[in-house]
């Protein structure tokens, strides 16, 4: 059972609790991206197990009227067990998404995985047009070139700042440099992308910049934020007419995800402390 202190960030341990969260969140117009927690399986059995769980999840989402889709991690569906395992499992999930009308996002992990993830995405995005999306990271120096490649691929792209502690040879380490790159890449996307843009950030400055770019270029976009982070802003953006998706993880492996959320931000740590000591 997930303690109340973690349930701010995690939508329960089971698909049923995740669906309950989607239903409640949809009531305020916020749509939900479900992610089954799990990563870095180096054996095929675990990767296949989570792939099967995603295929079932997609089928179940498709049989409801919920505004929900999914996001998968490459290392959860087999990348550490071999590129082929990842490619086959990613394909199986996207095929299921296509069968049941459910959109499939792919998260981006550390820089050593970028090439194989991009290649797998491009192949599937061309085959299942409009059914697949990929995350790219503004902190990686290569991302400008990747976006140029992705501009004519028919898939959605989620731009995030980047969550991994990458070597300085491949990534900007200063926050100001990452923010500068985020703005530059966002403008490139609004000017050149037709497949769909997702602004994956809680940063009010980046969201405001996206609304300015939307006015300038007329390109549509959606905002994506994490469950438990700036949920008031998520609802306000919906009220202002923007499309907002909340990324909501669920599943038994919730502890390390919760611990990361608490470590990355003072406010989250204080929230956790208050929940523990009851102040
Ligand atoms: P930050 O630079 O962390 O913060 C900027 C400002 O945002 C802050 O000054 C504050 O005003 C506001 N803010 C941020 N956090 C909070 C908070 N907890 N409470 C209140 N205000 C806050 N990374 C990957 O590497 N790969 C992925 O696949 C991936 N997928 C993601 C999917 C989604 C939907 C989201 C939202 C993020 C994802 N990330 C991913 C994580 C991302 O790379 C960043 O690490 C994370 O979003 C923090 O950056 P930020 O843009 O929110 O802003």
Domain assignment of residue 179, yes or no: yes
How does pLDDT run across 213-248, given as a tens digit for each residue? Answer: 999 999 999 999 999 999 999 999 999 999 999 999
Domain count of the fold of the chain: 1
Domain assignment of residue 4, yes or no: no
Domain assignment of residue 128, yes or no: yes
* CATH code for the domain of 138: 3.20.20.220
Question: Residue 130 — very low, low, confident or very high, per pLDDT cuts 50/70/90?
Answer: very high
Q: What percent of the chain has pLDDT over 90?
A: 86
The average pLDDT across 99-110 equals 98
Distance 55 CA to ligand 1 centre (A): 28
Distance 248 CA to ligand 1 centre (A): 14
Q: Are 28 and 276 in contact (CB under 8 A)?
A: no
Which pair of tokens denotes residue 155?
Answer: 């898939």
Which pair of tokens denotes residue 31?
Answer: 């749509």
- Does residue 276 carry a pLDDT above 60? no
Domain assignment of residue 134, yes or no: yes
How does pLDDT run across 186-221, given as a tens digit for each residue? Answer: 999 999 998 899 999 999 999 999 999 999 999 999
Which residue among 202, 247, 249, 262 is best mutated to probe the pocket of ligand 1, counting the most ligand atoms within 8 A of its Cβ?
202
DSSP state of 223: E
- Per-residue pLDDT, 45: 96
Q: Are 59 and 274 in contact (CB under 8 A)?
A: no
Its pTM stands at: 0.95
Distance 109 CA to ligand 1 centre (A): 15
Decide whether any atom of ligand 1 lies within 6 Å of the 262 Cβ. Answer: no
Residue partners of 49: CB distance under 8 A and separation at least 6: none
Domain assignment of residue 5, yes or no: no
Reported as half-sphere exposure (CB side, CA atoms, 13 A), residue 260 has a value of 12
Domain assignment of residue 124, yes or no: yes
Residue 252: helix, strand or coil by DSSP? coil
Question: Residue 260 — very low, low, confident or very high, per pLDDT cuts 50/70/90?
Answer: confident
Domain assignment of residue 9, yes or no: no
Decide whether any atom of ligand 1 lies within 6 Å of the 199 Cβ. Answer: no
- Per-residue pLDDT, 48: 98
Domain assignment of residue 2, yes or no: no
- Does residue 23 carry a pLDDT above 80? yes
Nearest CA to ligand 1 atom 32: 200
- Does residue 277 carry a pLDDT above 60? no
- Per-residue pLDDT, 181: 98
Distance 234 CA to ligand 1 centre (A): 13
- Per-residue pLDDT, 279: 39
Question: Residue 278 — very low, low, confident or very high, per pLDDT cuts 50/70/90?
Answer: very low
| Structural domain of 151 | 15-277
How does pLDDT run across 167-183, given as a tens digit for each residue? Answer: 999 999 999 999 999 99
Decide whether any atom of ligand 1 lies within 6 Å of the 205 Cβ. Answer: no
Which residues carry out catalysis? 107, 158
Reported as half-sphere exposure (CB side, CA atoms, 13 A), residue 233 has a value of 16
Nearest CA to ligand 1 atom 50: 201
């Amino acid at each position: 059972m997930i303690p109340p202190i973690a349930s701010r960030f995690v939508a329960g341990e089971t698909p049923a609790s995740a669906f309950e969260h989607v239903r409640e969140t949809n009531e305020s117009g916020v749509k939900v991206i479900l992610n089954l927690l799990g990563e870095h399986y180096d054996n095929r059995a675990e990767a296949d197990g989570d792939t099967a769980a995603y295929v079932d999840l997609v089928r179940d989402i498709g049989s409801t009227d919920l505004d929900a889709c999914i996001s998968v991690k490459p290392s959860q569906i087999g990348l550490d067990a071999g590129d082929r395992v990842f490619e086959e499992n990613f394909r199986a999930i996207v095929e299921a998404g296509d069968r049941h009308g459910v959109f499939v996002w792919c998260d981006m992990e550390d820089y050593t995985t970028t090439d194989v993830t991009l290649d797998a995405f491009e192949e599937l995005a061309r085959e299942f047009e409009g059914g697949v999306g990929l995350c790219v990271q503004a902190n990686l120096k290569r991302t400008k070139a990747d976006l140029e490649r992705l501009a004519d691929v028919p898939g959605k792209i989620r731009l995030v700042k980047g969550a991994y502690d990458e070597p300085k040879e491949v990534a900007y380490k200063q926050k100001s440099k990452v923010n500068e790159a985020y703005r530059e890449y966002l403008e490139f996307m609004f000017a050149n992308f037709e497949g769909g843009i997702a602004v994956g950030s809680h940063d009010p400055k980046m969201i405001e910049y996206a609304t300015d770019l939307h006015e300038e270029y007329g390109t549509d976009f959606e905002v994506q934020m994490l469950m438990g982070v700036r949920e008031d802003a998520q609802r306000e953006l919906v009220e202002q007419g923007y499309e907002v998706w909340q990324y909501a993880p669920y599943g038994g492996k919730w502890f390390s995800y919760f611990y990361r959320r608490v470590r990355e931000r003072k406010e989250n740590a204080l929230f956790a402390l208050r929940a523990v000591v009851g102040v």
